[in-house]
Structure 1
Amino acid sequence: MIHVLICDDHWIVRQGLKQTLADAPDMQVAGEAANGPDCVRLVREQLEGGGGVDVVLLDIAMPQRDGLDVLRQLKQEFPRLPVLMLSTYPDKQYAVRSLKLGAAGYLNKNADADHLLSALRKAASGGLYVTPAMAEALATSISQPGEGAAHDSLSHREYQVFRLIAQGYSVGQIAEQLALSPNTVSTYRARILEKTGVKNDVELALYAVRQNLLSV
């Protein structure tokens, strides 16, 4: 039996995922969380308390803590725990970043039930669920790290700040959302402008639109 912990902030999505798992004879829901901190807490409680979690199914767009931040922490605390990332974002936006942070795979929410179950089984068995498109993107990022779009050179935290700036958030709002000081956010912003070659927030937003990085 594969015990799956579901972490997604949308109630209706969690219900759909639970129904899909309920229909599979080898799957069982180990718990559910609506935000990043609760996800980390539940994993700790389950694993440190002797309970069972075989795979974490983790949404990327999460309140309080971004899914990639949660992934990073889970892999630090429980390096052998498979984490399968789930997102509405196109693969090219987050798949490679997720895999580099240790995810066992990346699945779009548009995927059908069979693909979801296959990905979970692959992750639970210690494998890596990677589509051909993801494999190609990962290979390109490794073999040609100096090529590609300018935003590919951003660190994980810089990329978070970049997307929030492009969505119109102020430095203060970003600082609050990411639990950073405004000065730190301003430092990230300066690095982002330099790396992307734009002059201000408006140009940064236009760059994000051209690169199709604001899809939801």
Structure 2
Amino acid sequence: MIRVLVCDDHLIVRQGLRQVLADAEDLVVAAEADNGPEAVRRVRQPPPAEPIDVVLLDIAMPGRDGLDTLRQLKAEFPKLPVLMLSTYPDRQYAVRSLKLGASGYLNKSADSAQLIDAVRRVAQGKLFITPSVAEHLAEQLAVPAGAAGPEPPLHERLSHREYQVFRLLAAGKTVGEIAEQLALSSNTVSTYRARILEKTGVRNDVELALYAVRQGVQEA
């Protein structure tokens, strides 16, 4: 039996995932969490608590988001398979997730059979990569090391936290709103904003939003 921990801040999503996994005789939802720290605490629990075989982890959560949680889980439990779930387009977070150690990345719009197959695959120690994600990976690996090739987009230079702030700024969020959403101080967000402007070569939030649209990171 594959024991799954479902981490998502929306109860209705957790209930839906539980219902989907219940259709598979070899899968069981052993625990749920509505935030990253709670998911980490549950994985840490010693016997007699049931060990977790696979973590289903949402990316978009308030405070510590899924990528921060993934980073911590892989640092403490490097062999634990983590399957990332998201509503974001694959190009935004799939490759970042895999680079941080995720065993797979699946959009929440995936059908039940694909989700069950993904959980089984990562539980076996394999990667689960959809054709769309494979295409994005291939684009990054297309140029041999040391060979001349097109420069990656400027926003690829951003750290994980800078990328979070970048997307929120591009969506029109204020520094205060971002600070509240990410559980950071306004001064810290302002520092990230300054770094983002410098790395992307834009002068203000309007130009940043236009840049995000051009790069396909944000819809117009």
TM-score with structure 1 length normalisation? 0.90
Partner of residue 5, structure 1: 5
Q: 1:172 Cα deviation (Å)? A: 3.3
> Following superposition of structure 1 onto structure 2, how do residues 49-64 of structure 1 map, counting pairs within 5 Å?
51-64=50-63
> Following superposition of structure 1 onto structure 2, how do residues 140-179 of structure 1 map, counting pairs within 5 Å?
140-142=139-141, 144=143, 147-179=151-183
Q: Is the 8 A contact 2:209 2:218 kept in 1?
A: no
Counterpart of 1:14, as a letter, is: R
Residue deviations 1:146-172 (CA, integer Å, cap 9, x gap) = 623221221111101111212233323
Q: 1:198 Cα deviation (Å)? A: 1.4
Partners in 2 of 1:49 and 1:155 — Cα distance? 39
Is structure 2 residue 85 aligned with structure 1 residue 81? no
Structure 1 pair 167–122 and aligned structure 2 pair: CA distance change class (3 A): same
Counterpart of 1:158, as a letter, is: E
Residue deviations 1:118-176 (CA, integer Å, cap 9, x gap) = 11011100011112332232233245596232212211111011112122333233334
Partner of residue 217, structure 2: 213
Partners in 2 of 1:91 and 1:79 — Cα distance? 24
Counterpart of 1:174, as a letter, is: I
Deviates more, 1:36-45 or 1:65-74: 36-45
> Following superposition of structure 1 onto structure 2, how do residues 1-216 of structure 1 map, counting pairs within 5 Å?
1-45=1-45, 47=46, 51-142=50-141, 144=143, 147-214=151-218
Structure 1 pair 56–146 and aligned structure 2 pair: CA distance change class (3 A): farther
Partners in 2 of 1:8 and 1:214 — Cα distance? 23
Q: Is the 8 A contact 2:62 2:182 kept in 1?
A: no
Q: 1:199 Cα deviation (Å)? A: 1.0
How many equivalent pairs are there? 214
Q: 1:34 Cα deviation (Å)? A: 1.3
Partners in 2 of 1:117 and 1:214 — Cα distance? 30
Structure 2: stretches of 5+ with no match in the other structure: 144-148
Deviates more, 1:35-44 or 1:107-116: 35-44
Deviates more, 1:52-61 or 1:152-161: 152-161
Identity across matched positions, percent: 69
RMSD: 2.0
Structure 1: stretches of 5+ with no match in the other structure: none
Q: 1:11 Cα deviation (Å)? A: 1.4
Q: Is the 8 A contact 1:9 1:62 kept in 2?
A: yes
Q: Is the 8 A contact 1:8 1:34 kept in 2?
A: yes
Counterpart of 1:152, as a letter, is: E
TM-score with structure 2 length normalisation? 0.89
SS at match of 2:197: helix
Q: Is the 8 A contact 1:8 1:59 kept in 2?
A: yes
